[in-house]
Each structure stands twice: as C-alpha cells, then as structure tokens.
C-alpha cells in the first residue's frame, strides 16, 4: 500500500463543475504539497500546506492533520484545468513521498 493515496485516479468533469480530488496519507508529515502536471509534462507547485486551508484563484486546498487527509477543490472548472494533480507529503528527514496522481479531464 502506498504511503500516499489519491482518489479518484481518473476524473472527467463538465466545464463549470466543482471538482474535488482527495489525498490520504498514512504517516506523520510536516507539510503537504499539491502539484499540477500539464499534458506537456511540466510540473508546477500549486500549494504547500501544513494546516487549515489555502486559496489561489479557483483553487482551494484544505488539510486535516488529525484525519491525515487533504483535498484539492477546483471551482467553476475549465478545460484548461485538465492536467494530472499530484499530492506529495514531506516526512521527517526531508523525505518527500508522492502520490500516483489524479488525471483530470474537463470537457467543454
């Protein structure tokens, strides 16, 4: 079992829908990252969280440390949001463990 599990693995949504991607982890962490990987391959960092909630534009990330769970929400989704969304957790000793990613496709 991976230390970082993402769900769903694949998600297809209609433009305008509210989208939620989940990340659960089984180890103690000091921070959690959400990354976006575009079809061209490039990866960009979206958020780094250690508690609570962060918002950037239409993207919202939340984390519940007690439940070892984080969610990434996309409001008013758009085809340009189509990408792979990756959760990564930072453990002690500077180890970074990545989830397998959620493939999101937003149809117009």
Partner 1 sequence: NAGVTQTPKFRVLKTGQSMTLLCAQDMNHEYMYWYRQDPGMGLRLIHYSVGEGTTAKGEVPDGYNVSRLKKQNFLLGLESAAPSQTSVYFCASSRAWFRGANEAFFGQGTRLTVV
Measured from the CB atom, the residue of 19 and 49 that comes closer to partner 1 is 49
Rounded to the nearest whole angstrom, what is the least distance from the CB of residue 50 to partner 1 in the complex? 10
- Tell which positions 25-84 bind partner 1, by CB under 8 A: 30-31, 33, 35, 40-45, 48
The span of 51-59, 61-69, 70-78, 99-107 binding partner 1 (CB under 8 A) equals 99-107
Q: Spell out the residues 6+ positions from residue 23 whose beta carbon is closer than 8 angstroms to its own.
A: 4, 5, 6, 32, 34, 69, 70, 71, 72, 87, 99
Measured from the CB atom, the residue of 43 and 76 that comes closer to partner 1 is 43
Measured from the CB atom, the residue of 27 and 43 that comes closer to partner 1 is 43
Distance CA 81, CA 107 (A): 10
3-state secondary structure of 83: strand
Measured from the CB atom, the residue of 74 and 86 that comes closer to partner 1 is 86
β strands within the chain, DSSP E:
4-7, 10-14, 19-25, 31-37, 43-49, 52-56, 59-64, 69-74, 83-90, 96-98, 102-107
Site residues for partner 1 per CB under 8 A: 2, 4, 30-31, 33, 35, 40-45, 48, 86, 88, 90, 94, 96-101
């Amino acid at each position: 079992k991976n230390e970082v599990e993402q769900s769903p693995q694949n998600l297809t949504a209609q433009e305008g829908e509210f989208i939620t991607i989940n990340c659960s982890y089984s180890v103690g962490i000091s921070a959690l990252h959400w990354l976006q990987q575009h079809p061209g391959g490039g990866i960009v960092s979206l958020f780094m969280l250690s508690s609570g909630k962060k918002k950037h534009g239409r993207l919202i990330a939340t984390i519940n440390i007690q439940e070892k769970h984080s969610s990434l929400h996309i409001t008013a989704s758009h085809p340009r949001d189509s990408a792979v969304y990756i959760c990564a957790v930072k453990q002690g000793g500077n180890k970074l463990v990545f989830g397998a990613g959620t493939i999101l496709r937003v149809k117009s």
